[in-house]
Amino acid sequence: MAPKSERIGRKLRDPQSRGLRRAVRGHLYGDSRMTQQALIDIAEQPASENPEPVARVPLRELEDGQRLQGVYAVRERELRRKRNGEPWLRLALGDATGSVEAVSWEDAEARYALAAPGSAVHVAGVFEVSERWGAKIKLSELREAAPGEYEAADLAAQSEASLESLEAKLRQLLDTVQEPQLRELLDRFFGEGSGIWARFRDAPAAKLYHQAYRHGLLEHTVSVAQAVSAAANFFPGIDREVAVAGALLHDIGKTEAYNDDPLAIDLTDAGRLQGEIPLGYYTVRRAIEDLPGFDPELAQAVLHIILSHHGSLEHGSPVVPATREAVLVHMIDNLGGRLGSFDRLERQLPAGESWSGFDRALSGSAFFGTRAA
């Protein structure tokens, strides 16, 4: 029997093995760490005239230097120019596990036209992690995805909490509010027959920084209201029911400020032109005005929480928190948003990495020590 190396040589010289030789070259040049034994194992695999398609790799599982091919959602697109005037394309691609930046230096304008936000595209390229430029996919191919190539649920970011669990927690919080006028006001928004409830249930909490996915607004609101309810018991002088009602309503404007496209969350025209705080204020004020005899002081207390919950004028609030309840809701809301950024960054973190890149929401990097262990 001929030696193993001689058998491999004959296999590689066989005209029927051209596909095999391409596979060997692809692995050889695609991964410089490939061992001689790995090359031998590839050479001994039978050639296939109809190879199986490459399985789509979830974005969170990509590793530095890994080649990828599959369908992902376009979250954002931007056509930029080099110094010499030539165009290049920057995309934000996403799936249910996270998102990552992608760049294309060739056919930028044509690919820009294909990659509309919210669309599904089939891409091929290499994932690279640079100390200077961060994690990016360098695209070699991009085309529109055919309907049968993907499942929409695989491309939309998702909450780790079930809708049933989140709604049950919301109903429990609502039951703790005993003040009749507040209960009636909250029922206008969260009652099962409410017109706004269906939108609130599915809306995202943000475009990018925290809970930017379907049911994200419900998840964020429940977590803030739960924390406000608990914290109110430890600080004297706080009206817990006013604080909880304000916490439940503080982001109600986001039901109008964001679109309903789970593959490409963005601001609506109303969100851009008015902002989520004014939208929320007027929505709640109109509801209060429709309730005969609503206590003006109670209305003012709740509306002040909505107007001031961003904490400062430079962050979008027309007034700063001036009551105990408003300060509490602002602080807990800010905490929830920042911790939500950690969840987002952890979703995007490449396998084996413990530090994220610089993040605007945190004004620094996030550390996930246990992931590198």
Domain-wise residue ranges, the chain: 4-44, 59-155, 163-348
What was the pLDDT predicted at 54? 54
Domains 59-155 and 163-348 share a fold: no
Cβ atoms of 81 and 87 within 8 Å: the answer is yes
Cβ atoms of 137 and 174 within 8 Å: the answer is no
Other CB atoms closer than 10 Å to residue 16's CB: what's the count? Answer: 9
Per the rule left: phi > 0, alpha: psi between -120 and 50, beta: everything else, 201 is: alpha
SS3 label, residue 273: helix
Rounded average pLDDT per 10-residue block, the chain, 373 residues: 44 40 33 33 34 68 90 92 92 87 93 91 92 86 90 82 92 96 96 89 81 87 96 95 97 92 86 95 97 97 97 92 97 88 78 80 85 51
Out of 4.10.490.10, 1.10.3720.10, 2.40.50.140, 3.90.550.10, select the CATH number for domain 59-155.
Answer: 2.40.50.140
Long-range contacts of the stretch 349-356 (C-beta < 8 A, 24+): 349/60, 350/62, 350/63, 350/64, 350/127, 350/129, 350/135, 351/60, 351/61, 351/62, 351/63, 352/63, 353/129
Residue among 68, 71, 67, 109 nearest 87 (CA): 109
What was the pLDDT predicted at 274? 95
What was the pLDDT predicted at 371? 56
pTM for the predicted model, two decimal places: 0.71
Dihedral sign computed on CA atoms, order 350, 355, 357, 361: positive
Which helix (H) or strand (E) segment is 135 a member of?
strand 134-144
**Residue 207 CB contacts under 8 Å (≥ 6 apart), including other chains:** 258, 265, 266, 267
Topology (CATH) of 163-348: Hypothetical protein af1432 (1.10.3210)
Give 176's Cβ-side CA count (13 Å radius): 19
